[in-house]
Structure 1
Amino acid sequence: MASARPTVRPLSPHLSIWKWKVHMAASIFHRVSGNALAFGALLLFGWWLFAAASGKEAYATFHEVATGWFGMLVGVGLSWMFWQHLLGGVRHLVMDGGTGYDLKTSKTVATLVFVGAAVMTALTWALILMKGN
């Protein structure tokens, strides 16, 4: 016979125990950036291919948006995701080799991933904008 009272289950304490740390954020951003790159590539290249196949007017619209402020914003975001994912992947590869697990090294390398992604994104766009002139 079933009990009339609902079963009270304990709640997971993870929200009250875990605090955001840079090495945890680096791992989460590695996953997020991979998914964002896949989605962004499908969307961007799908639109480009569709516009190219649809004729001059459709391609002109694509080109106008892609080279405008919104296209540049998307480009910077995808560039940052690329560098974040690449550097995070190198971090995970090194850790898969069994090194870099001590707390100080893990935090330092995770911080370098974020800083490196920002620097590489800035350098990428500096080169892109210099080539445009």
Structure 2
Amino acid sequence: MAETKPVDRPLSPHLQIYKPMLTMMMSIVHRATGMALYAGMILLVWWLCAAAASDDAFATAQWIFSSWLGLLVLLGFTWALIHHALGGLRYLYWDTGRGFELSRVELMAKANLAGSIILTILVWIIAYMVHA
């Protein structure tokens, strides 16, 4: 049997080589928020099914969602929803072939992050004011 000589191939760069940049982190967070939204939808369906099932089931769901842990999960879900939506708008803008200048990309990433935090706080303030 003939011996084969290993072929010298270029190595692909790995994450250890790249310097973490805001845009790279935002891309990863966009994917993570998309996965978190799937889990959040399961909770939403559970809440709706509890509302349709009985008063006791709905009271249990409401008790869980009104606990400190439930409110923390709802806060995270709200942020994930808003962040993912703003990221989707950013990607939609890029699909038009615009906004690829480095300064614009960085500005849009920062705006996405800041906007998602500010809008989440506003949504929760409005919800609190309506609820109170």
Paired residues in the alignment total 132
- 1:36 partner letter: A
In the TM superposition, residue 87 of structure 1 has moved relative to its aligned partner by 0.6
TM-score, with normalisation over the residues of structure 1? 0.85
In the TM superposition, residue 81 of structure 1 has moved relative to its aligned partner by 0.4
Structure 1: gaps spanning 5 or more residues: none
CA distance in 2: counterparts of 1:28 and 1:2, whole angstroms? 46
- 1:37 partner letter: L
Question: Which residue in the other structure is 1:129 paired with?
Answer: 128
Structure 1 residues 50 and 98: alpha-carbon distance in aligned structure 2, compared to 1, 3 A threshold: same
Structure 2: gaps spanning 5 or more residues: none
Is 1:20 equivalent to 2:20 in the alignment?
yes
- 2:72 partner letter: L
- 1:36-71 deviation line (CA, Å, top 9, x unaligned): 112211x21232134235433222111111122122
Please give the root-mean-square deviation of Cα atoms over the aligned residues, in Å: 2.4
- 1:22 partner letter: L
In the TM superposition, residue 10 of structure 1 has moved relative to its aligned partner by 7.4
CA distance in 2: counterparts of 1:26 and 1:77, whole angstroms? 16
- 1:73-128 deviation line (CA, Å, top 9, x unaligned): 11110110011011101110111111111111101110110000000000000001
Give the SS at the match of 2:16. Answer: helix
Percent identity (aligned): 41
- 2:19 partner letter: K
CA distance in 2: counterparts of 1:57 and 1:99, whole angstroms? 53
In the TM superposition, residue 11 of structure 1 has moved relative to its aligned partner by 5.7
- Bigger relative contact order, structure 1 or 2 (CA pairs below 8 A, ≥6 apart): 1
Question: Which residue in the other structure is 2:111 paired with?
Answer: 112
TM-score, with normalisation over the residues of structure 2? 0.85
- 2:64 partner letter: V
